[in-house]
Amino acid sequence: MTEPLRPKDDPGRIVDRRNLKGAPQNHRTKSADSWLIAFRNALIILLFSGSATVAILFYLSRDLPSLRQLQDFSPAVATKIISRDGKVISELYTQQRVLIPLNDMPLDMRHALISMEDTRFYDHWGVSLRDFARAVVVNIASLSYSQGFSSLTQQLARNLYEVIGTRKTLTRKIKEILTAIQVERTCTKNEIREMYLNSIYFGHGTYGIQAAARDFFSVDARDLNLEQCALLVGVLPSPARFSPKAHPDRAFRRRNLVMAAMLEHGYVEEYDYERLRYKPIDVHRTDAIPGFAPYFTEHVRRQMEMEDERLGINLYRDGLEIHTTLDSRMQSIATRIFQEEINNNQRVLNESLMQNDTLIYRVIDTLIYPIDSVRAMIDGDIAIPEELKDKLLVQGAFVLLENDTGNILAMIGGRTDFPDYWNRATQAKRQPGSTFKPLLYMTAIDQGYPVSTQLLNQPLPQTGDAILNGADTSFYDPRNDDGSTSGLVTLRHALRHSLNIVSARMVIQLVTPTQVVDMAKRFHITTPLRAVRSIALGTSEVYVLELTAAYAALANNGVWVEPLAVTRIMDRRGKALREFIPERKEVIEAEKAYIMLDLMRGVVDLGTGARVRWMFGFNRPAAGKTGTTDDWNDAWFVGFTPQLTAGVWVGVDDPRVSLGEERFGNVAALPIWARIMKEVHQSFDMPVLSWQMPADLVRLDICKVTKDRPTKYCPREKEIFIRGTEPPDACQVHTGFESQPYNPDDDVFLN
């Protein structure tokens, strides 16, 4: 009997040798089991990896663009500010972009893009597997991320949707691929190219081919030629590094590289390539000059920012069209003349400062800026530092309004050679001087005083005035600018010659300071006005725009119209989001407005504003008022024709600085008004119109001396009255019983 064997690993176990004969069969069974186990493990690993991959893809795709977002291509687009004559005067944007259809993009641009960025664009479904494989091999070999494989569609996905990001990470690449595939499923190849060329960044703040064409070459995209298209495509990999403005040599090489690629793919003839490869690049380099009408466009921007929330719009991203009231042709005329006259005023100020160091010491700390350095600044030998510009530079403001609509046709808020963001037409409060007087006289007329009312043109007494009409108790001693005095004068004569003494008497004898303040508020003057006697001389500050609009109300039969800068807002699809209609309000009766207007015509025809006529030859019907503050620190002229009203202020930002001796409003400011108004009326061939006297007014003969109803012996003049307020009494001086015949030359009251 055969002895059983004991396994080595189990000495106590008996093994039947007869069973050893079946050992090969058991081995085959174990091998099959091993394969099953390996297959099972591989399947488990595969299922686990697949599940993990699906989970990762699901996690990464949670915040990717939806199908709706992919279909609604709506990148940030610049908002256009458009003048009423159709000119784009400015753009507002975070990304300067203008959308155009593919048909408006030149064929050379499309060919250059495919040649350089994605030669297999028409063959892949969002990702080029050949480029992917090549990138994997190169990156593994170099142990770095040195080779990319982004298709044109992947670039579009990365540039268009912020959730993808731009960091070179695996998760970003996966998001990019997923989005690219979805874009290819959603859009046609032409739609993808159109979106790409409208969204890609070309440098210098420009996005999209249209904005780049304008910025680099000052043309529309449809007018780009071959070399320009190649240059633009060449900058795409690194707009900063290959910028033709900053690095023309690099841009030159990139342009030629693109044209060589186009030649290789059959998009360019060899003759054209050889002809253009040596041609120097030529790009438009913008000067450091501010945009057209910068103060007006900033005024519009501030207004439109208040519409963002109410209309649910984004001023800087939604590609809006803001249609404005500005006339670019009138603005050009105003800008040119304004700057010329500001330069004239600057020369006078410079001469004044150079001849009198005391004026410099008064406003400049010469311990910080020695007097010699300041004089060098005035001479232009060294630049004026920012902190001294408000003391050494003459500034100004100009507003042109259309009387019946309130449209702002032109606006200047400061110098164009030293531009800033301080709009002196809408933000600077300055003393108006005598340009405030029409509101004072309007108050007297509204209280029923005829313009034939006479007041004494003699200095005010310094005692007893404080208790009259609640006047303030401060020292107050007004004088006429020329130092003159006389006897009794009418309101018409006093305004014509801007007699300060008579204006001061008006707030003592005719109206109260509070009534004057109320009248100014009726004319929509919003700045704080002090109800004191000196209000008669314009010592409370106003805005140029508001005072100009108040004058326009007089020209508009007493109807104040809100100054309007914007007429409507359109979205990028041409839908009107809002129409703007100015507020209109009658602030004074038409007959009273006409009387005031007629008084102001005398200022232009025969008074302080007569330079409009004899010096500048502006002979249309016009009315206005000059204004000057103490020491010639502010110079004004505001006036109107039947069609237009314009306001001018000239001064230095620091109100302590004088424009120079004798720089009255009719010297420093009136020339700007007269030259602009004359050229605008002539250039636009405006008809010669005049104002019609309301039916409730009568023009009567009155005695030239007493202002009563004349006798047949009286010297006569004509005056306007509201019906029912005519002089009640006949003249008691010229009765025919005088001992001597009347001689006008002997009449000290003649005005």
pLDDT band at 21 (very low <50, low <70, confident <90, very high): very low
Fill in the amino acid letter for 467.
Answer: I
Provide the pLDDT for residue 313. Answer: 82
Q: What is residue 236's three-state secondary structure?
A: coil
Helices (H), 105-247: 107-117, 129-142, 152-160, 170-186, 189-199, 209-217, 226-235
Query: In this predicted structure, what is the pLDDT of residue 466?
Result: 41
The percentage of residues in the chain with a pLDDT greater than 70, rounded to a whole number, is 81
pTM of the entire predicted model:
0.76
- The class (CATH top level) of 95-276 is mainly alpha
Cα–Cα separations (whole angstroms), residue 44 to 34, 58, 93, 197: 15, 20, 55, 47
pLDDT of the residue at 494: 96
Sign of CA dihedral 340, 410, 402, 666: negative
pLDDT at 178 over 50: yes
Q: Does position 137 have pLDDT exceeding 80, yes or no?
A: no
- Single-letter amino acid code for the residue at 627: G
Report the 3 state secondary structure along 31-95. Answer: HHHHHHHHHHHHHHHHHHHHHHHHHHHHHHHCCCCCHHHHHCCCCCECEEEECCCCCEEEEECCC
Q: Which of 37-46, 176-185, 294-303, 361-370 has the highest mean pLDDT?
A: 294-303
Task: Give me the chain's average pLDDT, please.
Answer: 84
Count the helices and strands in the chain (H runs, E runs): 26, 19
Q: For residues 240 and 349, what is the distance between their CA atoms, to the nearest angstrom?
A: 45
Question: According to the model, what pLDDT value does residue 748 have?
Answer: 37
CA 24 to centroid of chain Cα atoms: 95
For the chain, the structural domain boundaries read: 33-61, 95-276, 429-561+586-653, 695-751
DSSP bridge pairs for 745: none
pLDDT at 442: 98
Given a cut of 90, whether residue 105 has pLDDT beyond it is yes
Q: Which CATH number fits domain 429-561+586-653: 3.50.50.60, 3.40.710.10, 2.80.10.50, 1.25.40.10?
A: 3.40.710.10
Name the residue with higher pLDDT: 458 or 168.
Answer: 458
pLDDT score of 412: 97
> Does the pLDDT of residue 29 top 70, yes or no?
no
Strand segments (E) across 351-444: 394-402, 408-412
Return d(Cα 545, Cα 645) in angstroms, integer. 11
pLDDT interval class at 281 (50, 70, 90): confident
CA distances from 373 to 56, 306, 349, 381, 548 (A): 69, 44, 17, 9, 39
Per DSSP bridges, beta strands 394-402 and 644-652 are antiparallel
Rounded mean pLDDT of 607-620? 96
* pLDDT greater than 70 at residue 199: yes
Per-residue model confidence (pLDDT) at position 134: 55
User: Is the model's pLDDT at 50 over the cut of 70?
Assistant: no
Dump pLDDT digits (tens) for 471-530: 444 456 789 988 888 999 999 999 999 999 999 999 999 999 999 999 999 999 999 999
What percent of the chain has a predicted confidence (pLDDT) above 90?
A: 56
Give dist(CA 499, CA 482) in Å, integer.
Answer: 9
Task: Specify the pLDDT at position 43.
Answer: 73
Q: How confident is the model at residue 535 (pLDDT cuts 50, 70, 90)?
A: very high
Give 49's pLDDT tier (boundaries 50, 70, 90): low
Question: What is the average per-residue pLDDT within 12-32?
Answer: 52
Q: Which residue has the higher pLDDT, 72 or 568?
A: 568
Angle at 722 between CA 717 and CA 728, to 5 degrees: 65
CA-based end-to-end distance of the chain: 164
Higher local confidence (pLDDT), 43 or 222:
222
What is the enclosing helix (H) or strand (E) of 645? strand 644-652
pLDDT at 460: 83
Whole-number pLDDT of residue 746: 44
pLDDT at 288 over 50: no
> Does 386 or 423 have the greater pLDDT score?
423
Residue listed under structure tokens 């038409």: 590
Is 70 exceeded by the pLDDT of residue 1? no
Does the pLDDT at position 83 exceed 70?
A: yes
What distance in Å separates the CA atoms of residue 586 and residue 559, rounded to the nearest whole number? 4
Q: For residues 561-578, give the mean pLDDT.
A: 94
Strand pairing category for 697-703 and 408-412? unpaired
| Residue 98 vs residue 89, higher pLDDT | 89
Q: Is the pLDDT at 470 greater than 50, yes or no?
A: no
